[in-house]
Chains A and B, each alone.
Chain A
Amino acid sequence: MISYLVTVVIFVAIAALVGLALNLQWGLAGLVNFGVSGFVALGAYAVAITAPHVGWLAAMAFAALMCAGLSMLLSLLTIRLEENYLAIVTIGFGEIVRILLLNEGWLTGGALGISGIPRPFAGMTPAGWGDGVILVFAVVLVTAAFAFSEALVRSPFGRVLRAVRDDPTVTAALGKPVLALRVRAFAVGGAIMGLAGALHAFFLTYIDPSQFTPIITAYAFMAVIAGGRGSNLGLILGAGSIMLILEATRFLKDIIPWIDGVQLSALRLGMIGVGIVLMLILRPQGLVAEPKRRYGEFFPKDAAGPAPNRALAEGGKA
């Protein structure tokens, strides 16, 4: 039972990391990324391949950097196009990653995947403590990512990203480098997705391409929509409640005996789809709406300067 709970918490942590990253790209900067599963997979494989040789910390740094670099390239390719095209390119990217992982067996083990990935601190802890250590590790990682995202939202960078999202033309007219900002936001999001993949690899210690289906992308979108676009606190709640619902519905089989395993999984996945659509229609601001940030939050009263007008005072539309 304990190990089951640990598993659930770590899955929540992974979903929260992926969600935070997507919230940064889509919620904050308005860049839709349908290739989330591809970035997570890349992060996981980068760690799986390098960790045995260079240690966990360097491997994680490598995973984050690689995903950031690829995000950068992908966004540079597409970022001057309409949202529709960015979405198409990213969904294509996710598929290509999966195909490459399946077919480049010399590096990735093909469909068999990679096993025996060393966990962080594995050598320093007594036997049987492995799950506890990885649990602490996951919580620390999510807390750090959350703190980082919150700091980012409040920073000048976060402010200008919201401006880009809400009206790129006005932002460009104010002299902000819209393209560079978008590329940077996409890269930071990609790096966090890579870290989520790394956590996934460390926890399971065994990865194969079937673990990284587009369903990861759907969960991430569901988490961001449920939590409220642009709201990090809402996102943690959203990711947590989705995983809770997914886990709780596992036990539906005991209540509805005539349903078989495949039907149950279809029902649970279909529910995520229904959830996405219903939330978009009925509660677009999510569980916790993005806070309206006012001028005073960034520049306290005693700071000098003329009173700003209302349009400037609001960091962005909700």
Chain B
Amino acid sequence: MVAQLFLNGLVTGLLLALPALALTLIFGIMRFANFAVGALLTLGAYAGYLANVTFGLPLPMAAAFAALVVGLACVLCDELVFERLRERGSITLLVASMGVSLVIENICRFAFGNAARSFDLAVARPIRWNGIRINYEQMTTAGVVVVALILFHLLLSASPLGRAMRAVADNPSLAAVRGVERRTVARITWMLTGALIGIAGVLAGLDRAIDPLMGWNYQIPIFAAAILGGLGSPLGAVAGALLIGIAEEMSTLVLPPSYRQIVSFSVILLLLLFRTNGLFGAKAVRK
């Protein structure tokens, strides 16, 4: 039982890792917490649904399509909204991202209605191993996320683009002096983070029914994961996501399952009280 919950938690955590990573990267470059992350996740799930069910594409193609759609949506939001408000400070950007979130959610509702939908998948029998049940969706999620994370880590740590992204997050003026253009790097970052969220949306659609409010269920755990890792720290976000996922699933041993979100919220509160920098750095205290 405990081992089963641990495994479920690990997979939930891996699913949270992609959007948490996206959130933290955007925070690094734009200096605001993007509240539209939940709505973008929903958009990814619907884009995957459109490709998979309406166009009849296989699921990997659908995930690629979702990554592209959400990536472009992010670039568009940046171009139309966030870049224009960048000088006005993080509160304005926060409020604007709430507006953006409302718009995206309702575009999905307008196009697909409120009914719950799911992908066109053959039902597969779960694998049993030492009394633990592992189903096909969990294996897919784990595999896809691990590959995506490794690729992203290589990109951030070993490519010129990754170096430029880290430079801009660290100190935009200094990066500009060295010929790294903030605007271009920001666009690429939005595109990449959008792709991460899009893939996560498709994986979330494997896990549960797709409806216009599905992103809300992930919003608080995603933020908890990013704060746990210290906003702005990519590695921290992934570690935070795993911890949050495991903590949420394990909590069902002592709490009713409907209270899982309270675990994330308590983690946020405890962290803000006792360790404001998260587990891996990043300053949170007002200057």
B259 contact from A99, A262, A266, A270, Cβ within 8 A:
A99
Q: How far is the CA of A277 from the CA of B95 in the complex (A)?
A: 8
Residues of B within 8 A of A93 (CB): 265
What secondary structure prevails in chain A residues at the interface with B?
helix
Residues of B within 8 A of A120 (CB): none
Q: Does B95 contact A32, Cβ atoms closer than 8 Å?
A: yes
Among the stretches B61-69, B182-190, B233-241, B269-277, the one at the interface with A is: B269-277
- With A81-B272, A281-B85 already in contact, the answer to whether A99 and B262 are too (CB < 8 A) is yes
Residues of A within 8 A of B264 (CB): 92
Residues of A within 8 A of B276 (CB): 81
Q: Does B92 contact A280, Cβ atoms closer than 8 Å?
A: yes
Q: Does B90 contact A273, Cβ atoms closer than 8 Å?
A: no
A276 contact from B84, B95, B223, B265, Cβ within 8 A:
B95
B94, B106, B219, B220: most-surrounded residue (chain A CB, <10 A):
B106
Interface string of A53-82 (1 = CB under 8 A from B): 000000000000000000000000110111
Interface string of A244-279 (1 = CB under 8 A from B): 000000000000000000110111011011111100
Residues of A within 8 A of B118 (CB): none
The reply on B129 being an interface residue by CB < 8 A is no
The reply on B3 being an interface residue by CB < 8 A is no
Residues of A within 8 A of B94 (CB): 32, 34, 83-84, 87
B110 contact from A267, A272, A276, Cβ within 8 A:
A267
A229 to chain B, nearest CB (A): 10
Q: Does B265 contact A96, Cβ atoms closer than 8 Å?
A: yes
The reply on A218 being an interface residue by CB < 8 A is yes
The reply on B125 being an interface residue by CB < 8 A is no
Closest to A84 in B: B33
Residues of A within 8 A of B109 (CB): 262-263, 265-266, 269
A38 to chain B, nearest CB (A): 11
A280 contact from B99, B105, B273, B286, Cβ within 8 A:
B99
- With A269-B102, A273-B102, A284-B88 already in contact, the answer to whether A80 and B262 are too (CB < 8 A) is no
Q: How far is the CA of A148 from the CA of B109 in the complex (A)?
A: 40
Residues of chain A at the chain B interface (Cβ within 8 Å): 26, 30, 32, 34, 77-78, 80-85, 87-89, 91-93, 95-96, 99, 102-103, 168-169, 214, 217-218, 221, 225, 262-263, 265-267, 269-270, 272-277, 280-281, 284
| Across the A-B interface, the 3 shortest Cβ-Cβ residue pairs | A273-B102, A276-B99, A270-B106
A-B contact pairs, 26 of them (CB 8 A): A30-B91, A77-B272, A80-B285, A81-B284, A82-B284, A84-B90, A85-B284, A91-B35, A92-B223, A92-B264, A95-B261, A96-B261, A99-B259, A99-B262, A103-B256, A262-B109, A262-B114, A263-B109, A270-B106, A270-B110, A273-B98, A273-B99, A274-B99, A277-B80, A280-B88, A280-B92
